[in-house]
Homo-oligomer: A and B are copies of this chain.
Amino acid sequence: VSSRFGRVFQIATFGESHGGAVGVVVDGCPPRLAITPEEIQRDLDRRRPGQSRLTTPRQEADRVEILSGVFEGRTLGTPIALLVRNEDARPQAYEGMKDVFRPSHADFTTEAKYGIRNWQGGGRASARETVGRVAAAAIARKLLREVAGVEVLAWVRRVHEVEAKIDPGAVTLAQVESNPVRCPEPGAAAEMIQRIDAARARGDSLGGVVECVARNVPPGLGEPVFHKLEADLAAAL
């Protein structure tokens, strides 16, 4: 089953790029974890397009609604369903792609596998599918912090040829959030922005490297043979 991930804390994402909504159902979250819509919204706002000129021009508020699993501000131990309506779904914007396969959007493989084309903006193979992951991860992050003091933090280390000098042990969330490319080194960040703007002006985009650190991870996480922590992280990426 393709849209499920995890074995204890298990998520099931749903939603096409231009359908009615995207979201996620989290099953296996322990009861009595304090969680508010605002905490989830904060991470969705970080994901949201339209924050700066550097990303996709799509404009959506992406307001999350908790449909179930939370009662009086705490999880119940029951499935947590999170819903985000698609607002800027303009199928007509994709009319021209009805007969064209876009690169990197799985258009060809989707047709080969399912015999059907959801030509409106990539279907599941869209950055919009990550809304569900981000919403579920906001809960997972809170849980990891409350239960084990684990902190997970990621940032942009490199864009094209611009590589920032970063000490992974010292980076703070505030530093990461201080600029739209989310590179904690201000000098490198400025140059990255410049390069992205230039590429955009040429009708191009740039690759990069995201770096991630998990702090206070207890020893022994992961399984010893097939589901090693490294294996699951590799699969997740």
A interface residue numbers (CB < 8 A to B): 1-5, 7-8, 10, 12-16, 19-23, 25, 27-28, 31-32, 65-71, 74, 76-81, 83, 106, 108-110, 112-116, 118, 120, 123-125, 129, 219-220, 223-227, 231-232, 234-237
* Nearest Cβ on chain B to A5's Cβ, whole angstroms: 4
- Residue contact B23 to A67, C-beta cutoff 8 Å: yes
Cross-chain contact of A224 among B125, B231, B232 (Cβ < 8 A): B125
Decide yes or no: A79 and B31 within 8 Å by CB, A20-B67, A124-B224, A224-B106 being known contacts: no
Cross-chain contact of A19 among B2, B15, B67, B118 (Cβ < 8 A): B67
Decide yes or no: A78 and B236 within 8 Å by CB, A109-B220, A224-B125 being known contacts: no
- Residue contact A77 to B23, C-beta cutoff 8 Å: no
**18 extra interchain contacts, Cβ-Cβ under 8 A, other than A12-B79, A15-B81, A110-B224?**
A1-B10, A3-B225, A5-B226, A12-B25, A13-B79, A14-B25, A14-B68, A14-B79, A14-B80, A15-B67, A16-B78, A71-B123, A74-B116, A76-B123, A108-B219, A112-B220, A231-B236, A234-B235
Cross-chain contact of A118 among B25, B76, B80, B225 (Cβ < 8 A): B76
- Residue contact A27 to B2, C-beta cutoff 8 Å: yes
Separation of A152 and B103 alpha carbons in the complex (Å): 27
Q: Which residues of B contact A69 (CB under 8 A)?
A: 14, 16, 19
